[in-house]
Amino acid sequence: MPQLRKPYLLYLGDAQHPTDAKTACGLRDWCPADVVGEWSLPTAAVSVGLPRCSPAEAAAQGAGSLVIGIASVGGKVPDSWLPDLEAAIAAGMDIVSGMHTRLTSFSSLVAAAARHGVTLHDVRHSDTTFPAGTGLPRPGLRVATVGTDCALGKKYTALALTRALEARGQKATFRATGQTGIMIAGSGIAIDAVVADFIAGAAEVLSPANDPDHWDVIEGQGSLFHPAYAGVTLGLLHGSQPDFLVLCHDPTRKTIEYRPDFPIPPLPVAAEQYLVNARVTNRNVRLAGVSINSSSLDDGAWARYRAQVEQEMGVPVCDPLRGGMDLIVSRLLGV
């Protein structure tokens, strides 16, 4: 797995909507010490509240990479961004992108990178050949975040869980499986870009044999209940062979987002379906807790909803941004 050069300069291009900058926001929130500032075109209408630094200024501060902090619909890299990307290359920085358009599809960037001895990282794409999954047990402890739908907190939950384990003196590693997680961690595998036959094998590579007391915290992708992405979820689940699962949910969603014909099952049903599928490669897997994206709930509503879910599920319930993760860690550790 390639390692990314930190710290980062976050590039916002000509973004017009705050939601386009979710990659930059994730990096700002979860690895602020690895970010020196932001840069954008004059036409951009979005900022993530960091100091503005030109590529040359960021390089002078020690930045190792310019990261495209945009996750726009379609994932295209427009030609209007190329002068800024080439300026970063000329300043000695690698370019890191999670867009669908490959950086290496631009001959000017390829030539500039070769000339200045830097690397173009298309983290959503991998030229690595992964093996097929074996399903064989391996030492080490693993916990995976899974979800009732996409984009509802699996990454944030895994990052918060890693920090909570470390705070308890545990050896723990966040294992990134999506482009933003890879940029936060500095390494990982974009599971949704792996050929289907090798997803489980890639997950085994991502969370290899380790010390018996070491925790791999595996970022979930997709959802078993999503008509398009369930295959990615299942391959990741089988290859990860988690000892524990944390189920993530957004209580405002009654159907899969943008798929109104696909209802989200009740939490007990969702948890049991995940456990049944996880038992294919780890018969002893257990549910450690439920993580809720409670951003739509005020404090009182959140307290009531949390109590209701805890009674219904019989496990600790948390929101990674509102606390409670330590209760899930206690369940992981059996204390």
What pLDDT score was predicted for residue 124? Answer: 85
Given a cut of 70, is residue 320 above it in pLDDT?
yes
Which of 170, 265, 179, 269 has its CA nearest to residue 219? 179
pLDDT digits (tens, 9 = 90+) for 181-194: 998 988 899 998 89
What distance, in Å, lies between the first and last C-alpha atoms of the chain?
A: 35
Given a cut of 60, is residue 1 above it in pLDDT?
no
For residues 113 and 187, state if they share a domain. Answer: no
Which of these three, 94, 122, 150, is where a domain ends? Answer: 122
Q: What is the mean pLDDT of residues 309-334?
A: 96
Share of the chain above pLDDT 70, in %: 99
For residues 151 and 56, state if they share a domain. Answer: no
Which of 73, 80, 108 has its CA nearest to residue 14? 80
Which of 280, 333, 330, 325 has its CA nearest to residue 145? 325
Contact predicate 143/218, CB 8 Å: yes
pLDDT digits (tens, 9 = 90+) for 187-223: 899 998 899 999 999 999 999 999 999 999 999 999 9
For residues 29 and 146, state if they share a domain. Answer: no
For residues 77 and 215, state if they share a domain. Answer: no
Instruction: Kindly report the average pLDDT of the chain as a whole number.
Output: 95
Residue 128 inside a domain? The answer is: no
What pLDDT score was predicted for residue 73? Answer: 62
Q: Provide the CATH number for the domain around residue 47.
A: 3.40.50.720
Residue 1 inside a domain? The answer is: no
Q: Please, which contacts does 162-166 make with residues 24 or more away whose CB atoms are closer than 8 Å?
A: 162/215, 162/217, 163/325, 164/325, 164/326, 164/328, 164/329, 165/215, 165/217, 165/329, 165/332
What pLDDT score was predicted for residue 71? Answer: 80
What pLDDT score was predicted for residue 255? Answer: 97
Residue 97 inside a domain? The answer is: yes
For residues 86 and 171, state if they share a domain. Answer: no
Q: What is the dihedral of CA 146, 149, 155, 156, to 10 degrees?
A: -110
What pLDDT score was predicted for residue 179? Answer: 87
Given a cut of 60, is residue 100 above it in pLDDT?
yes
For residues 264 and 151, state if they share a domain. Answer: yes
Backbone φ and ψ for 6, nearest 5 degrees, come out as -105, 165
Given a cut of 70, is residue 300 above it in pLDDT?
yes
7: preceding bond cis by omega (within 30 degrees): yes
Amino acid in position 204: E
- Which pLDDT band holds residue 2 (cuts at 50, 70, 90)? low
What pLDDT score was predicted for residue 22? Answer: 84
pLDDT digits (tens, 9 = 90+) for 233-264: 999 999 999 999 999 999 999 999 989 999 99
Which of 247, 215, 218, 221 has its CA nearest to residue 318? 247
What pLDDT score was predicted for residue 125? Answer: 84
For residues 98 and 167, state if they share a domain. Answer: no
Amino acid in position 34: D
**Percentages of the chain per state (helix, strand, coil), in multiples of 5:** 40, 20, 45
Please give the Cα distance from 66 to 75 (Å, whole number): 17
CB under 8 Å to 280, separation ≥6 — which residues?
A: 135, 238
Please give the Cα distance from 181 to 183 (Å, whole number): 5
What pLDDT score was predicted for residue 75? Answer: 78
Domain containing residue 68: 8-122
pLDDT digits (tens, 9 = 90+) for 110-167: 999 999 999 999 988 877 899 999 999 999 999 999 999 998 999 999 999 999 999 9
Q: Provide the CATH number for the domain around residue 322.
A: 3.40.50.300
For residues 111 and 184, state if they share a domain. Answer: no
Given a cut of 90, is residue 312 above it in pLDDT?
yes
Contact predicate 71/181, CB 8 Å: no
Please report which helix (H) or strand (E) contains residue 9, including its range.
strand 8-11
For residues 71 and 153, state if they share a domain. Answer: no
Report how many domains make up the chain: 2
Share of the chain above pLDDT 90, in %: 86
